[in-house]
Structure 1
């Protein structure tokens, strides 16, 4: 998501946007995009929601090479009124929310190196554009993203950014959905990651729990490994409904009195799709000697 206190670089405008400079990408960078794209689109069909694959086709994200934001935005504007703007990495929370509230998706313009093909900490253009943009062509999910931005602007004034960040993490980034009796991927952090695309659906380790707004906002998340818990929505329409119909101010007040729920914990009231073994995190913690981490 966003970062609270980054320093705006001189080249960035007041809204933190910068030129993409598409013409400056090298053949090697375009080739790396194509390599990442081919790997994900080979394994995602049947795993990701069909709306994601439809978005790739509708927006002509099928390549070759890194997309030009100007041309991509022209196509996206015609479908849902969204556009893609370049930014110098992470941006302040208020800037991030304002862009979303005005149907502008902020994307990094740099692409990872071949050595980072399976993991990098800061989102690059492949994560931001391949992972996020296809679903912005879906009207209901596009509305959810705008509603989230509007909610973020309100949350900032209520001191509830951390709570709302958890909602973004467990839906937009790492969300699962139940469609036709099967779990599918829709979160960008999963869809853009080869390893997590497999882990999120196939591995016995993580819990997969029914989505509940209050539960999600009480649950910290991992930024340094695969997720210990995924939350499963019933539909994009239900996700949007819960977001726009909830009065978040009293909810934030209630949550101030509620303790966080440790990441790997299952509560008695949870709707459990999968009881995870938690083997993955236990093995990694044992090997590294670290305690359970959260953000």
Structure 2
């Protein structure tokens, strides 16, 4: 099941005002004092920010711009080869810079005229309901830090490359943007944690790790795949299942490995009909009904008392 806290390194603000980011033991930057300090500095800027104020501007270093440049150039030909045309067209419409890290206000200035979405700063983890509630208001909470320079093509956690190249380009598609907004609005209708997790899991297997057929080939449209060179090399070899809400909302998965099971839409129309309609209509009762169906079909074990 989806556990958002696993995705981001915890952030602590100490009594003296300093900010510490707690990287996992296997993080490439775990023993890099300079990187740790930089992560704390960037997280601190987001923590100090108040909504309604200008988004924090990060003075990115030459090394950070080089990471963005390296990843952008690696991703570009893979997008042309592996991404669904809905994403590719949106990416060209958004026209993100490839030679420097964009500020979040720059992303908003490009994205808002296309689909009405805006970006705001987050230090790392945003509580699940807050994150999705903002999606319902066409607002995306984004980190501003970059992955460690020793492994520019790998990150164990979402960074600005994932949030902007992955999701920003996706949100420049009016059709993908509407599905994402619907997921956010769905979170405001449900009361139980189980229903909220069900929504988040369907989102994971669609807008994060979704694939779709196009001209007889399986293409990617999920932000998690399209912001990762490794995922793009691997997703075509994974098991591709038809869209199945009961399965998507209950399937266990490990975020630290490539996704071995993906759900494949036949078209954008089918994605809207199945996933988009689910987000438009889901409430606590429907989520519970779909989970009961998953139990009945043997997709998941019945909860223990």
Q: One fold, TM greater than 0.5? A: yes
**Conserved? CA contact 1:175–1:231, under 8 Å:** yes
Task: Give the RMSD, CA atoms, in angstroms.
Answer: 2.6
Does the 8 Å CA contact 1:16/1:95 hold for their aligned counterparts?
no
Q: Spell out the pairing of 1:24-39 with structure 2 (5 A cutoff).
A: 24-39=59-74
What displacement does 1:230 show?
A: 0.7
Instruction: Indicate whether 1:140 and 2:179 are aligned.
Output: no
Q: Equivalent residue for 1:171?
A: 206
Instruction: Indicate which of 234, 244, 265 corresponds to 1:212.
Output: 244
Decide which of 217, 225, 230 is 1:195's aligned counterpart.
Answer: 230
Aligned CA distance change for structure 1 residues 65 and 13 (closer, same or farther; 3 Å): closer
Aligned pairs for 1:10-25 (under 5 A) are 11-12=47-48, 19-22=55-58, 24-25=59-60
Point out where structure 2 has 5 or more consecutive residues left out of the alignment. 14-43, 301-305
**1:59-114 CA deviation, whole Å, 9 max, x = no partner?**
22142211122122122111110011121112001210111000011111000012
Q: Deviations over 1:134-155 (max 9, x none)?
A: 1211111110000000112223
Q: Structure 1 residue 160 and structure 2 residue 192: aligned?
A: no
Structure-2 residue corresponding to 1:253: 288
Match of 1:223 in 2: 255
Question: Contact between 1:18 and 1:86, CA under 8 Å: does it hold in 2?
Answer: no
1:238 equivalent to 2:274? Answer: no
* Residue 132 of structure 2: aligned partner: 97
TM-score by length of 2: 0.76
Q: Indicate the residue corresponding to 1:279 in structure 2.
A: none
Q: Return the TM-score normalized by structure 1.
A: 0.79
Where do 5+ consecutive residues of structure 1 fail to align?
263-295
Residue pair 2:211, 2:262 contacting (<8 A) in 1 also: yes
- CA contact 2:211–2:263 (8 Å) conserved in 1: yes
